[in-house]
């Protein structure tokens, strides 16, 4: 008996990389899995169901239950149909793991409108649309007296939480997902739904070429380390964990994000000429945002 025995899960972007590891781990722990993947390139071009089909076949070969779904999760109607497919096939839905994503890295001044729009659409709307339809199913179940112990697990990124040059589109979307997670965790708690997010650090096709890793570092970037956290958060044992952002998830550990905090306060003034002194004093006493070093900028 696995920790997710009998539960029904949707994993988006599950044909490759960390999504594949999530689907396999959830199945290993007893969940019935809808393996969603449009099958496009890392930049979001094309479509191919074969990666998702291969994951389904691997799950079935191991004795689990899984089906393929090729929906574009950023399409409203397709996201709704994906949720309905899980319900119609397996009799319900308990777990939604929003993992699908693409990359179109550019320096902001070189980024096209299409680079911006598509990345925001896939990541941000592609998280919102499945969540909306799944939450409405859970809300109706709750009203009917059949409240489900449900889970939403979203995917943020260190780029969104700490910033990464060349990823203004991707980072903005991932930061938005973190905020979306905090808000929806509060909204859905009354119907038994927990909502958490994590920022995975793994070696996948999305990170190919970004850095050279080997040895222990490569081993610790195996997606299975992250999949174990996802399976636990998806299990009944994690019913009291919600509204959390795991700011780092990999083989070296799971870091609980501490979020934004108020720092030193400068006295306010109605006179613009009086703002500088107190403000500079407060800035000097404050730490820099994560990812920003004091020597990043040349101060006058």
Give me the active site residues, please: 157, 170, 174
> How many Å apart are CA 5 and CA 100, to the nearest integer?
24
- The residue written with tokens 């407060």 in the block is 282
Neighbours of 25 (CB within 10 A): 24
**What distance, in Å, lies between the first and last C-alpha atoms of the chain?**
64
For β-strands 66-69 and 95-97, DSSP reports them as unpaired
């Amino acid at each position: 008996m696995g920790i997710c025995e009998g539960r029904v899960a949707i994993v988006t972007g599950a044909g490759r990389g960390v999504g594949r590891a999530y689907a396999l781990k959830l199945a290993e722990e007893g969940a019935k899995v809808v393996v969603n993947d449009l099958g496009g390139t890392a930049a979001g071009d094309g479509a191919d169901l074969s990666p998702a089909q291969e994951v389904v076949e691997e799950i079935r070969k191991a004795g689990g239950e899984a089906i393929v779904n090729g929906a574009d999760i950023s399409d409203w109607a397709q996201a709704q149909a994906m949720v309905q497919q899980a319900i119609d096939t397996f009799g319900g839905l308990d777990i939604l793991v929003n993992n699908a994503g693409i990359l179109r890295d550019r320096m902001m001044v070189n980024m096209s409108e299409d680079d911006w729009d598509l990345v925001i659409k896939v990541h941000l709307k592609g998280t919102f649309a499945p969540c909306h339809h799944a939450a409405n199913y859970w809300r109706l179940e709750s009203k009917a007296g059949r409240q489900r112990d449900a889970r939403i697990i979203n995917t943020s990124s260190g780029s969104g939480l700490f910033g990464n040059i060349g990823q203004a589109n991707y980072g903005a979307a991932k930061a938005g997902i973190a905020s979306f997670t905090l808000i929806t965790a509060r909204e859905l708690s009354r119907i038994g739904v927990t909502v958490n997010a994590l920022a995975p650090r793994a070696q996948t096709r999305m990170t190919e070429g970004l850095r050279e890793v080997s040895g222990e570092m490569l081993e610790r970037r195996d997606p299975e380390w992250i999949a174990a956290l996802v399976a636990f958060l998806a299990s009944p044992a994690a019913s009291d964990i919600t509204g959390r952002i795991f700011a780092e998830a990999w083989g070296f550990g799971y870091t609980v994000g501490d979020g934004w905090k108020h720092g030193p306060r400068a006295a306010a003034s109605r006179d613009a000429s009086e703002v500088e002194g107190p403000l500079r004093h407060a800035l000097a006493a404050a730490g820099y945002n994560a990812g920003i070093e004091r020597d990043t900028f040349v101060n006058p």
